[in-house]
Amino acid sequence: MNDGPEDHQPGADDDGLRGRLVRAGVELVNTEGAQALSLREIARRTGVSHGAPRRHFPTHLDLLSAIARQGFAELAARVAEADPGSAAPRERVALLARVYLDYATDRRGMYELMFRHDLLESGRLGLRETSLPLFGRLTELVARARPDTPDPAVLAGALWANLHGIAQLWHWGSLPLVTGGDDPAPLLAAALDAHLGPAEPGR
């Protein structure tokens, strides 16, 4: 007995099915959070049996990694759109950081999925490596903003860790509680000053 419209034609529209499964997962994580990402629910939303996704994604981690890759792609696209190549390096770092924090708020479920320890440790679909181009952009800008630093990658890594901490602690309510603020912008400014030095007057 067939459970879904795809199952009686194993070779039909396989590439299309893979994309539809990923798109359904992206929609699900953006609307209901990472905890809602079950194979059964993604299959239901795609209109196939719960076993159909395994033709393309042998494990749950494979499908989650494919969904998370879309998150990294979206974040990279947002950064590219917001980054004015003609601006000063420090200003470009600040814009990248702002986009990162905004993404963590706007796409909370996807953000949590992208940095899930088990996904990154699994190495499925080279997920860990998908963040390297974005980190490379940050490192390049840090090197230009702080030409005196002996290791731009370390400084960029420290800044990234700071941003990630702000994103997480702000979401959990810890930073608003201890700072009494309702906007993470001052925390971002403080992080940039700490890692890159104070901004020039007028910037």
pLDDT of residue 113: 94
Q: Closest Cα to residue 62, out of 103, 10, 3, 122?
A: 122
Looking at residue 11, its pLDDT comes to 41
C-alpha to C-alpha distance for 60 and 161, rounded to whole angstroms: 28
> SS in 3 state form for the chain?
CCCCCCCCCCCCCHHHHHHHHHHHHHHHHHHHCHHHCCHHHHHHHHCCCCCHHHHCCCCHHHHHHHHHHHHHHHHHHHHHHHCCCCCCHHHHHHHHHHHHHHHHHHCHHHHHHHCCHHHHHHCHHHHHHHHHHHHHHHHHHHHHHCCCCCCHHHHHHHHHHHHHHHHHHHHHCHHHHHHCCCCCHHHHHHHHHHHHCCCCCCC
Average pLDDT, integer, range 105-115: 95
Q: In whole angstroms, how far apart are CA 191 and each of 84, 174, 199?
A: 21, 17, 11
What digits encode the pLDDT tens for the residues 24-53? 999 999 999 999 999 999 999 999 998 888
The pTM assigned to this predicted structure is 0.86
Contacts of 14 (CB under 8 A, 6+ apart): 55, 56
- pLDDT tens-digit series, residues 121-152: 887 778 888 889 999 999 999 999 999 999 99
Token readout for 156 is: 């960029």
For the chain, how big is the Rg over CA atoms in Å? 20
Confidence of residue 164 (pLDDT cuts 50, 70, 90): very high
pLDDT of residue 202: 53
**Cα(182)–Cα(169) distance, rounded to whole angstroms?**
13
* Residue 118 confidence (pLDDT): 86
Q: What percent of the chain has pLDDT over 90?
A: 72
The answer, yes or no, to whether residue 166 has pLDDT greater than 70, is yes
